[in-house]
Amino acid sequence: MKLQRERLIEQGFRECDPIILATLSEKELATFQSKYTEGSRQFILAEYEWQRRLTAQQIKAAYRTAWIGVIGAIVGAVAAIAAQFLSGNKPWFVP
């Protein structure tokens, strides 16, 4: 299994395949990138892979933040309706 993974990594080094670079761990990608000079094709592909990973993390964080906002709005609305009932005033939607 480990030998097979090493062959896959070596193949990615030779071919500079973005799909193979996407399967590398952060440590392996850093090792790959350090072997090439800045501006080389391999270095640029590794840089794009780092950017892709960062963008994916930012998208996940944005989704979590959006869901927290939605949940907060729902909880706030329910709390406002409950406060109106508890104060003895009827909410606008109750006849």
In a domain, 18, yes or no: yes
Higher pLDDT, 53 or 39: 53
pLDDT tens column, 15-37: 667 788 888 889 988 988 888 88
**pTM for this one?**
0.63
In a domain, 93, yes or no: no
The pLDDT value given to residue 94: 67
In a domain, 95, yes or no: no
In a domain, 94, yes or no: no
In a domain, 46, yes or no: yes
The pLDDT value given to residue 11: 62
Residue position matching structure tokens 């670079």: 21
**How far is the C-alpha of 1 from the C-alpha of 25, rounded, in Å?**
16
Q: What domain count does the chain have?
A: 1
In a domain, 37, yes or no: yes
Angle at the Cα of 50 (from 37 to 28), degrees rounded to 5?
Answer: 70
Range of the domain at 49: 2-86
pLDDT tens column, 57-85: 999 999 999 999 999 999 999 998 888 88
In a domain, 78, yes or no: yes
**How far is the C-alpha of 21 from the C-alpha of 29, rounded, in Å?**
7
In a domain, 66, yes or no: yes
The pLDDT value given to residue 88: 77
Angle at the Cα of 62 (from 59 to 67), degrees rounded to 5?
Answer: 130
Inter-residue contact 20 to 11 (CB < 8 Å):
yes
At 5, is the pLDDT very low, low, confident or very high (cuts 50, 70, 90)?
low
